[in-house]
Amino acid sequence: MTTQAISVPRPEAGLGDVSRSRFGAVLRAEWTKFRSVRGWVIGMILAALLTIFIGVFAAANASIGCAFNGGPQKTGKACVPYVPHGPGGEVVTDSFSFVRQPLTGNGSITARVTALTGEHANLSAGPAQVGNGNTVPGLTAWAKAGIIIKQSTHQGSAYAAMMVTGSHGVRMQDNYTGDIAGMPGSVSAARPRWLRLTRSGDTITGYESADGTHWTQVGAVQLAGLPSTVQVGMFATSPNYIVTQNSFGGDSSNSGPAQATGVFDHVGLTGATPGTWAGTTIGGGGPAGGPGTFGGRGSAPYSRNGGTFTVTGSGDIAPVTTGPGAGLPTVTIEQSLAGAFLGLIAMVTVAAMFFGTEYRRGLIRTTLAATPRRGAVLAAKAVVIGAAAFVTGLVAAVVSIAVGVPKEENQGQVLLTVPVLTEVRVIVGTAAVLALAAVFAVALGAILRRSAAAITIAVVIVIVPFLLSAARIVPAGVGAWLLRLTPAAGLAIEQSIPRYPQVTTVTAPVQGYYPLSPYAGLAVLCLWVVAALALALVMLRRRDA
Amino acid sequence: MNAATQAQPAAALAPAATRGAGLRYALHAEWTKLRTVPGPAWLLLGAVALTIAGSAAAVGATHCPQDLTCPADTTKLSLVGVQFGQAVVAILAVLTITNEYGSGMIRTSLAAMPNRLAVLAAKAILLAALVLVAGAVAVFGSVLAGHLILPGHGFTAARGFHPVWLSYGPTLRAACGSVLYLGLIALMSLGVAVIVRDSAVSIGVVLALLYLFPIVLAFVGNAHWQHRLERWTPTIAGLTIQTTTGLRNLVISPWGGLGVLGIWAAAAMILGALALRLRDV
């Protein structure tokens, strides 16, 4: 292959220019090859149409029915319960017992917590309701009691709170998603926790202390647009008690209601307040008591004995996620993208043929004679097919989401809305996964010189790990490792609902949770693609066409 | 294709052959084609290795701790590798016919053997036989892996798990059924390939048939569609043959499910045969 070098006289002179324009020419040649084979263009269009069709089909049939609400069977949005949205736009749970009074202007609240106790359903004794006797004492990990400054008594309004929790120590949380750790350890009469929140304009600062004298700042948060009059006070709540079998299956879980009781004293307020306390249950989050339904109107949300307040509540102040922790049927935007798997098969087929066909027809000899720099041929093919797959995938993903998501919403499920930037990441990420898979198939086509084998490897290595873990064919632990190590890790870019540490739920692949973060997952896929391209380059250079 | 020269004796004999002898000559010719190129042997070996490796990896990574109940179907888990092995079987089946279209060899084959259905039948018989033999080895290896590994990982008879071995009726049924499953996947793939004629497009279509429906099922919560998908799609229905626990909850019986895959394979082969008969090559 040394003879071809003759056609490049004086490589020193303007090397950059020459090689760039040459690469441009190779790129144009490969683009011409791609667009002039009608089957490949049809294949790409078909990939987009099938992606949209399957995605919208899956979205329109994602429903698990409308029976959860009880009563007569309803359809459509009629059976979606009211769900509040937090200041960040996400769906939230906002249910708790609140002992409060209004605070106008700047001020602070201080309280000492001397006990946090709770009870939850006795899951080993069949169906249970807190309050009907079939309960056992115990705290859920994220049972919480503490002090809170909240915009209003409306569900979903902005807040900042200092709290003690079941097993995560003192926390400062704000606006449902914010979570800052304070001192660890559980609370008791012997080891009380002093909590303080101060408001200064839009800034709320949280402090903690073990003795009421030495204070440590836990965090300071901005609550944009906080009105001049806010509600301050004490709260208690507890999310459902969930038992999961993480070691096998991961998707087998059992949950029942729970409630938490906090005991407060040394309650002090500064600032303009009326000085009288009122008890309110926010979002039906009072103590359990009524038969049949948990969180019904039972006993009062709090009792007072001199300076000691005892507050009992249930529910949670947290974002809603997928899985049994949500307590209601949820659906995510990425469920409209199920069709991308079919699109991927079609695109991988076209991509593998893009290289494989040249070997079968012998065109590769002409190609390599015209462009002796084999790396440039590989790069040009990768760029052309990657760009084509990306654009096709982008169009398909946008249409799938635009058409599919309203259909998901219309079946009595709560759509877990996400910020616009997250939605953009999911859509562009899906297109990127398709483009990377196509480039991967081009590299495999160059390595194997056989389209069929390249297609099979690319499809099996990307799709089957997802299938095995998402369709519960292998145990959750095995599935998680498959989704860390194989190219299927890249699908993590589609996960729209993050894994919130402050919410207990089942975070298995089948619930839409990937073991890696979105960009780490995409990086794993990129590594596979880079490795395949490198191997393809070595093989192309070493082999005689 | 070195096989071209090998097929010549059969071509010379074909005009004189009676109808009954046609299939015999076709089988001989196809067998010569298959054994004289290295591809099929490697693919069969790959299918066996991938099946056993996938199954062994799955059972090796599964533990049942002492204090938990594990809702596991140990037989089904031991046969997970079939999910991988079927892809290699599909390649072999597709290439059996598309290689001839790709190289133009098909013209020689059909000129030598004007009875086109005999050519297809010979291919199908040989392919099915080879896949059944390789599938038996692969499935036996998978069962052996489950038998040896699972008891050490907490899936003991004392805790109510049947040993994964062929002496247990449901496991024997699942194992034999999995071998037949691979054979039917091969025939379905061959039928698709005869219709499509291009290796890459055929493999794309076959892989979509194998893997798309289970993925759609994972996303669809609508009970009616779940039922339809579980009952009527080739791989979901076909793989119910591997189920040994919770048989009452199945929407289709194990043999019924394999029968559904049989219908898919038969439909693909019939359409393929029609296409081969009616088309000009």
Shared-domain flag, residues A206 and A353: no
Containing structural domain, residue A514: 17-61+332-542
| pLDDT above 90 (res A248) | no
Rounded Cα–Cα distance for residues B131 and B124 (Å): 10
Q: What are the chain B neighbours of A64 within 8 Å (beta carbons)?
A: 221-223
Among A40, A42, A349, A510, which would you mutate to test the B interface (most chain B Cβ atoms within 10 Å of its Cβ)?
A: A349
Q: How many contacts does A have with B, using Cβ atoms within 8 A?
A: 137
Determine, yes or no, domain membership for A259: yes
Whether residue A67 lies inside any domain: the answer is no
A9 in a domain, yes or no?
no
Average pLDDT score over chain A: 84
**Considering the domain boundaries, does residue A362 fall inside one?**
yes
pLDDT tens digits, one per residue of A85-106 = 888 888 898 989 999 999 999 9
Which pLDDT tens digit goes with each residue over B174-198? Answer: 999 999 999 999 999 999 999 999 9
Whether A69 and chain B come into contact, CB under 8 Å, resolves to no
Residue B38 has pLDDT above 90, yes or no: no
**A353-394 pLDDT tens trace:** 998 888 877 888 888 888 888 889 999 999 999 999 999 999
* Two tokens, residue A385: 């097919």
Please tell me whether residues A371 and A488 are part of one structural domain.
yes
Is A437 an interface residue toward B (CB < 8 Å)?
no
The DSSP line for chain B is -THHHHTHHHHHHGGG--HHHHHHHHHHHHHHHHHHSHHHHHHHHHHHHHHHHHHHHHHHT----TTS-----HHHHHTTTHHHHHHHHHHHHHHHHHHHHHHSHHHHHHHH---HHHHHHHHHHHHHHHHHHHHHHHHHHHHHHHHHHGGGGT--GGGTPPPSSTTSHHHHHHHHHHHHHHHHHHHHHHHHHHHH--HHHHHHHHHHHHHHHHHHHHH---HHHHHHHHHHSHHHHHGGGG--S-GGG-SS-HHHHHHHHHHHHHHHHHHHHHHHHHS--
If contacts are CB pairs under 8 Å, which of residues 329-358 in chain A contact chain B?
Answer: 335, 338, 341-342, 345-346, 348-349, 352-353, 356-357
Q: What is the pLDDT of residue A485?
A: 93
A375 and A274 share one domain: no
For residues A270 and A124, state if they share a domain: yes
CATH classification at residue A214: 2.60.120.200
Q: Does residue A73 belong to any structural domain of this protein? A: no
A475–B91 CB contact, under 8 Å: no
Selected residue with higher pLDDT from A397 and A502? A397
What is the number of domains present in chain A? 2
- pLDDT at position A60 is 83
Q: Where are the domains of chain B?
A: 20-278
Give the pLDDT score at B89. 96
Q: Which of A291, A319, A347 is the last residue of a domain?
A: A319
Question: Rounded mean pLDDT of A506-514?
Answer: 74
ipTM of the complex: 0.84
Q: Which of A296, A319, A342 is the last residue of a domain?
A: A319
Please check whether residues A292 and A359 belong to one and the same domain: no
A407 and A439 co-located in one domain: yes
- In this model, does residue B1 exceed pLDDT 50? no
B219 vs A247, A338, A348: nearest CB = A338
The nearest alpha carbon in chain A to B93 belongs to A452
The DSSP H or E segment spanning A389 is helix A374-409
Tell me the range of A155-164, A302-311, B152-161 where mean pLDDT is highest.
A155-164
Residue A245 shares a structural domain with residue A391 = no
- What band does B225 get if pLDDT is binned at 50, 70 and 90? confident
Interchain CB distance below 8 Å, A63 and B222: yes
User: Which of A5-14, A141-150, A338-347, B242-251 is least confident?
Assistant: A5-14
Last residue of a domain, one of A254, A288, A319: A319
| Residue B103 pLDDT > 90 | no
pTM of the model: 0.84
Do A251 and A348 share a domain, yes or no? no
Q: What pLDDT, on a 0 to 100 scale, did the predictor assign at position A154?
A: 92
Instruction: Using CA atoms of A205, A210, A214, A220 in order, give the dihedral in degrees to the nearest 10.
Output: -10
